[in-house]
Amino acid sequence: MTARLVPAGLVLAALAAWAGVALAQPKPPGESCVACHLEIGDERLVKPVKAFEGDIHKAKGFGCVACHGGDARAAGMEAMDPAKGYIGKPGRRQTIQVCGRCHSDARFMKQYNPSLRVDQVTEYATSVHGRRLRELDDPKVATCANCHAVHAIKPKSDPAASIHPLRVAETCGACHANATYMAGYKIPTDQLEKYRRSVHWKTMSVKGDLSAPTCNSCHGNHGAAPPGISWVGNVCGQCHAVMAELFAKSVHARVFTQMGAPGCATCHNNHDIQPASVEMVGLGDRAICAQCHAADDKGGQTATEMRALIDSLRREHAKASALLERAEHAGMEVSQARFELNGANDAIVKARAAVHAFTLEAVKKEADAGLAISAKAHARGERAFAELRFRRNGLAVSLAIIVVLIAGLVFKIRQIERRPKSRNAG
């Protein structure tokens, strides 16, 4: 991974300065380092110099020596004298230290970004990446420079940044979706492919909601690790709080833990999470409950009854809504009834959430409220149609009178026209 993602000899990492004095007085690049690298013309030397033009550290006034050491004021190879602190390309472990030298220093970082966290190195030490680097000296695990595009580091708010929400999955996938690179780790490499089919990715990429979860939302970023089976609900519960709370109190929370099954992910999967639908409840073809329950066990019966309640609520809501829409189309004033019917939609959403309590009572409580609202709205729709029928009957009577009147007028006119003729005939 390092060989692929980090150009030789150059890890600038987002963060660092080489010496305390240098840190306090950042110097821009453009001294001898840049001049020589460009003059030599070797692509490996030119590329980092050019990339650094767009780096946040360059914008803040830091130069090459902040990470690589040396003396940029000296000409030629003297600038790269180890006696002057030159380290060349930091090694993998060294990269963490180089970046951490500034980024773990709260006082120093406040000068540039007071809101930026300074616990990245501590977090990294808890990550799978950090542990493997420390304990196994694994040469393939990610360090700072792998995820933060070395020499082209940008803040996460920059759409071109490798850590922008829309690009995080791609950044992680650079290694984790590469089956060849990941061979030997015995973990799947289809996470990126699955994630891109998920409702979370669609929410972010299609609806433009950048707060939708991506890899680091569930796994952490600097402390990246798979969520444990017993606490995956806490991860999902950051956003899906109501369901997580109901689930935590439910019988399934205990049973799933005993089974070694992850809470939410047991029914919803993890990377390819699809929009939840009522078809997941019950014992039908697409029902998740049917994977463990059958029609003759108590859980299966509860699932069937919960599904029937929700279906009934949706049916009644749709029926009332359609009736009111037709009444409105027919010219009747039913806006109040339609306004109140919004409560039934709330009840459907709440009943679906209540499924996570896995008790019939919880679903019934919400469903009953929604059914009552739907029934009331439907009755108002019926009354509107009764009123419409009355008005139409009135119209028919009026029309009949008008038609009779016209016919009478026509008859009278003809009678008047006939009189002179009969007189003339006489």
Partner 1 sequence: MAEHALEPEAMEPEATRRSFVNWLLGTSAGAFLVAVFYPVGRYLVPPKAGESAAASVTLPVKPADVRPNTGQIFKFGNRPGILVRTPAGELRAFSAVCTHLNCTVQYRADIGHIWCACHNGHFDLSGQNIAGPPPRPLDSFVVNVRGTQIVVSKSA
Among the candidate windows 88-96, 159-167, 340-348, 376-384, which touches partner 1 by CB under 8 A?
A: 340-348
Residue among 137, 336, 390, 408 that touches partner 1 (CB under 8 A): 336
Instruction: Give SS3 for 392.
Output: helix
For the CB of residue 298, give the shortest distance to partner 1 in the complex, in Å. 28
CA distances for 319 relative to 89, 169, 312, 384, angstroms: 70, 43, 10, 15
Closer by beta carbon to partner 1, 152 or else 347: 347
DSSP 29: S
- The answer to whether the beta carbons of residues 151 and 249 sit under 8 Å apart is no
Phi-psi region of 181 (alpha: psi -120 to 50; beta: other; left: phi over 0): alpha
Closer by beta carbon to partner 1, 346 or else 382: 346
Closer by beta carbon to partner 1, 78 or else 340: 340
Instruction: Quote the CA–CA distance of 120 and 112 in Å, as a whole number.
Output: 16
Instruction: Quote the CA–CA distance of 222 and 15 in Å, as a whole number.
Output: 14
Instruction: Quote the CA–CA distance of 288 and 281 in Å, as a whole number.
Output: 6
Q: Does 209 bind partner 1 (CB under 8 A)?
A: yes
Q: Does 249 bind partner 1 (CB under 8 A)?
A: no
Residue among 353, 357, 362, 363 that touches partner 1 (CB under 8 A): 353
Residue among 107, 186, 207, 414 that touches partner 1 (CB under 8 A): 207
Residues in 391-420 at the binding interface with partner 1, rule: CB under 8 A = 392, 395, 399, 402
Closer by beta carbon to partner 1, 297 or else 346: 346
Residue among 168, 212, 264, 373 that touches partner 1 (CB under 8 A): 212
For the CB of residue 375, give the shortest distance to partner 1 in the complex, in Å. 19
What letters, b where the CB count within 10 A reaches 16 and e where it falls short, cover 121-157?
Answer: beebbebbbbebbeeeebebbbbbbbbbbbbbbbebe
For the CB of residue 293, give the shortest distance to partner 1 in the complex, in Å. 26
Closest CA to 67 of 45, 43, 88: 88
Closer by beta carbon to partner 1, 69 or else 237: 237
Instruction: Give SS3 for 356.
Output: helix
Q: Does 313 bind partner 1 (CB under 8 A)?
A: no
Residue among 339, 387, 389, 411 that touches partner 1 (CB under 8 A): 339
Among the candidate windows 48-56, 128-136, 263-271, 328-336, which touches partner 1 by CB under 8 A?
A: 328-336
Q: Does 274 bind partner 1 (CB under 8 A)?
A: no
Closer by beta carbon to partner 1, 311 or else 328: 328
Residue among 318, 330, 379, 386 that touches partner 1 (CB under 8 A): 330
Instruction: Quote the CA–CA distance of 149 and 142 in Å, as a whole number.
Output: 12
By CB atoms closer than 10 A (0-12, 13-18, 19+), residue 413 is exposed
DSSP 288: S
For the CB of residue 123, give the shortest distance to partner 1 in the complex, in Å. 23
Residue among 350, 365, 376, 383 that touches partner 1 (CB under 8 A): 350
Indicate the residue type of 36.
C
Report the interhelical angle of 251-259 vs 241-249 (nearest 10°). Answer: 80
Q: Binding string to partner 1 for residues 145 to 184, with x set by CB under 8 A, is what?
A: ----------------------------------------
CA distances for 422 relative to 130, 203, 408, 410, 426, angstroms: 119, 88, 21, 19, 6
Q: Does 241 bind partner 1 (CB under 8 A)?
A: yes
Residue among 27, 345, 364, 368 that touches partner 1 (CB under 8 A): 345
- The answer to whether the beta carbons of residues 195 and 189 sit under 8 Å apart is no
Report the interhelical angle of 92-103 vs 128-136 (nearest 10°). Answer: 130
CA distances for 264 relative to 6, 99, 235, 304, 305, angstroms: 37, 37, 9, 20, 22
Q: Does 279 bind partner 1 (CB under 8 A)?
A: no
Residue among 342, 404, 407, 412 that touches partner 1 (CB under 8 A): 342
Reading the block at residue 83, the tokens are 């006696």
Instruction: Quote the CA–CA distance of 152 and 215 in Å, as a whole number.
Output: 21
For the CB of residue 424, give the shortest distance to partner 1 in the complex, in Å. 15
Q: Does 240 bind partner 1 (CB under 8 A)?
A: yes
Residue among 107, 329, 419, 423 that touches partner 1 (CB under 8 A): 329
Interface residues with partner 1 (CB under 8 A) are 203, 207, 209, 211-212, 239-243, 328-331, 335-336, 338-339, 342-343, 345-346, 349-350, 353, 392, 395, 399, 402
